[in-house]
Each structure stands twice: as C-alpha cells, then as structure tokens.
Amino acid sequence: MSLAGEAANKRVSWNRSLSTRGRTSIAVGTCVVYQPQGKQARRKGKPALPKGKFVQPPTFEKERAYFQEVDDFELLEESPSPKNFSTWAMGTQTNNIAIPHLSSRLEKWLISRKLNHTCGPSSTLSKILETPAMPLEPICGNDLNPSNLRTPEKSSMKTNSQLLAVHSRLCSILVDKDALERDHNSQYRNLVSGSEGQGCCEDLEVAVKKLSLASTSVCFDSDQLDPFAALLAVCGQPSPSKLKDVFSKYCELGNIVKIGEGTYGEAFKASNYVCKIVPIDGDLRVNGEVQKRSEELIEEVILSRTLNCLRECDGDVCNSCTTFIETIDLKVCQGSYDSALIKAWEDWDENNGSENDHPKEFPEKQCYVVFVLEHGGKDLESFILLNFDEARSLLVQVTAALAVAEAAYEFEHRDLHWGNILLRRNDSETLQFILEGKHMSARTFGLSISIIDFTLSRINTGEEILFLDLSSDPDLFNGPKGDRQSETYRKMKEVTDDCWDGSFPRTNVLWLLYLVDILLLKKSFERNSKNERDLRALKKRLDKYQSAKEAIFDPFFSELLIMACE
C-alpha cells in the first residue's frame, strides 16, 4: 500500500492518463490478489405464474408519495452544483477564470500557464505569483552591479530572497488596483522607500537602480509606473542627455561617420566605438514602422548587459566567451539630431543611398536610446572571406559562443542572419572560452567574430526570462519561399510551436544551418571539392542536433578545438 501511495503522489498525470483510458494503474494493480475465476453459474429464470391467477402490477404509490414530500420541502439555500463532475480531468479543460489587471507580461504568463503546460515559464515568476505578499525590505546600494544579472547559482541566497520579496510586493500592489487608486501617494512612498518611518522618500529612479535589472521589465510595464523613468534608472541617468554630449565623450563631433543603418536605428562610428541610435516613444513612424517603446528597450538593455557578464573569466567562472559584442555604455537622449550627425547621415546617403527616413524629421522632444558598442568590423554580407580556414573559423567561433550562452543563460539569438555577424582580422591565432567549467581554445586563423543585435533574442537572467513574443508579428514568417532567412524564421515557429517564452536551443542550430547554407551558396572564397563535401556533411549532422552545446563537439570542429590541460 505504501508503494501505491507514493506512486499516486509522484505520478499524478501518469495515473490520470491510464485512468482516462479505462485501464487500471499499475500502482493499484500491484495490491490486487489475482485468482483464477471459476465458471459462473447460469442465471435461473423467473418461476412460472400459477394458472388461473392474475397478478396485480406494482403501483409504486408509497415511493411516489415519499418523493412528492421531498419536492414540497423548500431549502433555505440551495448548494451550488460542482463544476467538475468527475475525479479525473479529461483532456485540456479551461475554466473561465477572470484575470486581474496586471502588467502585460504577467498577464501573458498567466494565460500561457493555464492553456499551455508544455512551455515552462520562469521558475522565478512562479514563485512571485504563488507566494503571498511579504513586507518590502529597504533596498540598499546606489550602483548597478553586473552580478545581479547572473544565474541563481552565481547569486547569494539572501539576494534572491530580497528580490522575491520586492517582486511579490510590487505584484500585489499591481493586482490591488482599487487600493492603489484610493491611496496612491502612500503606496508610492512605501514602494520606493520600503518604510513609512523614513524622513524622506527616495526618487523612483534611485529605487529602480537598487533593484535587480531583471526585475524592472516585469514591474514597470504597468500603467501605474512610468517605463521611461525605469529606463532612465537602468541606464543610470536622472534625466535624458543630448546626443552631442554622448558622442563628444568618444570623439570630435566633426569626425563622426555613419557606417550602417537598420529599420529601427542608425549606426555611427565614434573613434574606436560604434554608437547605435534607436528612437523610442514617439508618434512619428520611423521608416514606416512604429517606434519602439521604453519597456521594449529595457529588456534589450538588460539582455546586453547580461551577455557582457560572459566576458568575465576570473575565479570559478563556469561559462565565458568574448564573441558577443561588448556594450561599453547605454544612454537615454532627447532632442533633434545634431548638425554633425546630420552631415554624417547625408554623406552616407550620397555614397550609399540610404533606405531610411531623413533624421531631420524628428521633433525637438524625440527620445532615443544610444548603445555604445565596441567596433566589431564588417558584417558577413559585405566581408570578403579569403579561404576555407576562415570559413571554418567563422563557424567554430559562432557555435562556441552560442554553446556558452546556452549553458549560462539558456540563450537563443533567434535572428542570426549574416547582417548580425561582424568580422575583422587581427593577430590572434586562438580564442579562449569556458564551457560548463571546461577551458577550451579555438583556432581562429587571425579572424575575430562578434555577434550583435539581440532584439529577438531569448535569455534567462536567473531572475526572469526575457523574450520577444514573435507571434504578434506574423509578417516575420511570410517572407519569400526559398529564401534561407525567411525559411529559418518559419522553422523556428515550428520548433517553438509559437510559444516564444520557452527554452528551445534547437533554434540556435537552425541558424547554424543557415550559416552553412550562406557559405555554400552566397559567399565566394578559395575552396576545393573536399571542402564542399565537408560543409555538406556538417549540414546533415547539424540537422540531428538539438543545441549548440551538442554541435560544438561535431567532428568538423575537432581539428579546431584545443582542450586546456587540467
């Protein structure tokens, strides 16, 4: 019987599946003593009626009178009927449960959890929503600490418990909307300072700076709290800066050169750095698209800083690599483009023919986020590969970076086309990285790779899962048939089943397959028939892998990888 009880507790869904199919659970079946059944006796028929006698049929008058008496009795309060009439749930049942007004992310999480149990949401979110509200502790510290972004095994238990307390308090305030409206100022003071007894109330920007970066996107995308103020806090600013002030920190304004553009922003070279300008929160459409919102940029900012942590290689670091582009600084700016930026934009337009709208159309109050990044070189589309060794170097560096990020943060890039891989040549012959505690090196043949643009990426920071819900952008999957990039988006949708918050490292493998196709079909470099066969064989094997962590140990990379001596 103890075996039956233990099995019933641990394998509820398994027992349910057996029961709904009309079978007997093994846990119950083991307690039954099976014996051979004897032949059942034949049922005797009814005795014959005596001849010449009439039998009166039953009238059930007594029974009828009894039930009539019961029907006439009036209950003071009728008990509600149960909604579910069976012990076992048959299939997927959805009850019409009203969801309170929460932030959009929490609301989506609740809906996906009720309707789709296969997509594992953040364990931290589970704790937040299922843990009763706790009193908010005072939040200490002034500076943003990159260690806050690390996974749970790299964070202290005390820090995690404080973050859960803050999350729980914030979420309870968001749910209790009526209470918030009745006493908004009091709730605001309690939220920011954590104590009513303090002499003064800290600013919202300072309070957000003291939180883990990963908590901001959950707590600050409601109508009650200003996402723009939260974005300022994450970037460490009391107020927006001017574009010229940010650029003047890195070079003379007259030396600014535009080097690239995208749908949502422009890229300018400032000395040895690249400044990417992304307009936000405006009503003016940019290149035909609606501008990004502050809450969207908060996640991209957090994600960029989280990947920066992979560059650390001191101490007992389990995962480390330098292939993801380094984010030097992040600033929120406001105002029109400076004349030096306008000139740099027009010079690019004259030489290359810009597809973007002229930045002079931005109003005086337009806001931007400026990403100051290291200069990673040219993108793969325009970079000229010399030989097969450089092609191999590209593949091994990208695969190693994805494998390390998978191991550290369940990272998926989800948009690794040839415009998001930068290449430049240097004097280094090897690239060091750490994968799950193993120190390794990869032969680079003098080629340095940088991965950029994490707009569509998914990451688990250890505090929260950040992702972009691509189901809200159906046009992304309607690209031309046969186009390798468009086909990769559609394959991603099949792999994820349109559930984008879940962890699906197979998407990284899909982009590795895309890169092999690009090398075979789009790039020209010195190679022979054996090199072609090796690439095609790699593609076949890649199709069987479920993650970059598996792909990095493919035989194709065996000559390029060097294991460090223990």
Active site residues: 415
- Give the total residue count for the chain: 566
What are the residues whose beta carbons fall under 8 Å from the beta carbon of 312, sequence distance 6 or more? Answer: 320
Is 373 in a helix, a strand, or coil?
strand
Tokens describing residue 195: 């104590």
Tokens describing residue 100: 């309170």
The Cα 436–Cα 563 span in angstroms is 13
What are the residues whose beta carbons fall under 8 Å from the beta carbon of 555, sequence distance 6 or more? Answer: 541
Q: Please answer whether residues 449 and 324 qualify as being in contact, where contact means their C-beta atoms are separated by less than 8 angstroms.
A: no
Torsion of CA 102, 105, 109, 110, to 10 degrees: 10
Q: Residue 58 burial by CB count (10 A; 0-12/13-18/19+): exposed, middle or buried? A: exposed
Tokens describing residue 394: 């590209």
Q: Please answer whether residues 485 and 514 qualify as being in contact, where contact means their C-beta atoms are separated by less than 8 angstroms.
A: yes
Specify the amino acid at residue 424.
Answer: R
Is 59 in a helix, a strand, or coil?
coil
Q: Residue 105 burial by CB count (10 A; 0-12/13-18/19+): exposed, middle or buried? A: buried
Torsion of CA 28, 32, 38, 40, to 10 degrees: -50
